[in-house]
Chains A and B, each alone.
Chain A
Amino acid sequence: MTRLAALEQAEVVYGRGPVLGPIDLVVEAGTITALVGPSGSGKSTALRLLAGLEPPSGGRVTRVVERGATAMVFQAPTLMPWADALTNAALPLELSGVPREAARARAAAALDRVGLADAAAKRPAQLSGGMAMRVSVARALATEPRLLLLDEPFSALDTPTRRRLLDDVHHLWSGASTGARPGVVFVTHDVDEAVYLADQVVVLSPGPGRVAAVIPVGGATPRPSGFRASPAFHEAVDRAGAALIGAMSA
């Protein structure tokens, strides 16, 4: 598999003290890695290191993907309130230098993929929370990223919407041909969510976060409808949950 980015003994120290690491993490194309850990364990910081948005205080960050081939979805939809959904979805492409018309055509296709073709002209204030988050996902997908970083993107949504969006992301990822699948890193507090989406769950200890456990997740891809009821799902949830509790009480 192609290595896209890696943290090697990477650590981050702010003025108030260390917040992450040292930590090792490798992201490969076509894989989904979930990062779970308590609040303050540095999950989002790890994501920003992988995105190249901040330098490590120590250790090394290796990024094979070029800058424009990384996409990020944040906790909030993070849309421009003054622009419609289509303009929001086209933003990364336009910033990367794609001509306006081509960028908007690709953004329209991405909105279609998340089921929002009819909402292209709507402003964020005219969208529900779930729809706004879909626009945010479409904005990331429009760039056809090789590295997709998801920073607790569904945490503010109600359970049914969260599950639906989780299914959508997984189907969009698994629907791509094997060679075209991006490497995904998914930060979440929710162990069930992590196991449902990921090939492996990396459990971080309380801050400064270090890797406390790596739990591989079996099961078919794309996830079958009954996956949440399967023994593989429950076994992985139990192991990841136990690792998380162990890390928090250590």
Chain B
Amino acid sequence: MTTGLALRRLAPLALFLALLAVWEGACRALQVPAYFLPAPSAIWSDLLAGWRLILGSAAVTFGMALAALLIASIVACAVALAVSLNSLLDDAVRPLAVALQVTPVVAIAPQVSIWAGLAHPERAVIALAAVVAFFPIFSGAATGLKSADPDLERLFDLYGASPLKRLLRLRIPAATPFLLEAHKVAAGLAVVGAVVAEFVAGSGQTQGLAWRIMEASNRLRTAEEFAALAVLAALGLLFHGAMQAFEAAALKFWSGR
């Protein structure tokens, strides 16, 4: 690894540590009350003390986000596949998909909670997070399925390829980079969606990170709240990183480079 590359890799960590140092120093120097803004050392202590509980909540949030991503992926890809085969269906579905995208999760959460059953708040959270993750996958898949080289499309025309052969041998492979990128974006949104949905539809039964944050906030246990937030950020970064690594490996396989 060259020095320049090593510096580039270390730069985010150095900035993070510097910000923590400034934060810690400011809290100590100004004697900021812990309920208002706890020092990083206090947050760390809280995290060490309650790591089982917080990691358990993180696993619940991650599980719901993953389930939401899976459901969004299946539904969005199926709808995108259908609209790619029929332009009339495309015209019909797109406005609905956009309407779904611009509708805030919090606005539909109460109704979705009722539909999911009040005894099953995790279903509502997963459904709402899936709604959030749906659009980027649908949009990426729909765009990708139309992204094949026009001359390759002509080649398929020239040899009278059936719609199924065209789909399997040209359009789906051509859509792969778009699908990977869309899933990477949707993964982050699924985590955000799961947390937001748990805030509005979780009702304490789901016990995910959002509930941990809410509970700590209500009791003015700000350090515990920040510890849960830190784990949430780490979860988002890990999920995004995993998707990015998968995308890079898949694209390498796809293009042979």
Contact = CB atoms under 8 A, between A and B. Distances in A.
A81 B256 contact: yes
A78 B255 contact: no
B146 interface: no
B152 A78 contact: yes
A141 to B, nearest CB: 14
Contacts of A67: 158-160
Contacts of B257: 123, 125-126
Contact of A123 (B165, B169, B170, B256): B256
A96 B255 contact: no
Interface residues of B toward A: which range?
20 to 34
Contacts of B176: 82
A125 B255 contact: yes
B187 to A, nearest CB: 23
Interface string A34-72: 000000000000001001110000000000000110111
Contacts of A192: none
Interface in B198-257: 254-257
B159 A122 contact: no
Contacts of A48: 154
B178 to A, nearest CB: 13
Given A68-B160, A80-B173, A95-B160, A123 B255 contact: yes
A95 to B, nearest CB: 4
B253 to A, nearest CB: 9
Contacts of A74: 151, 154
Contacts of B169: 80, 91, 95
Interface of A: 48, 51-53, 67-68, 70-72, 74-76, 78, 80-84, 91-92, 95-96, 122-126
Given A53-B154, A72-B158, A122-B256, 4 more contacts: A80-B174, A91-B169, A95-B159, A125-B257
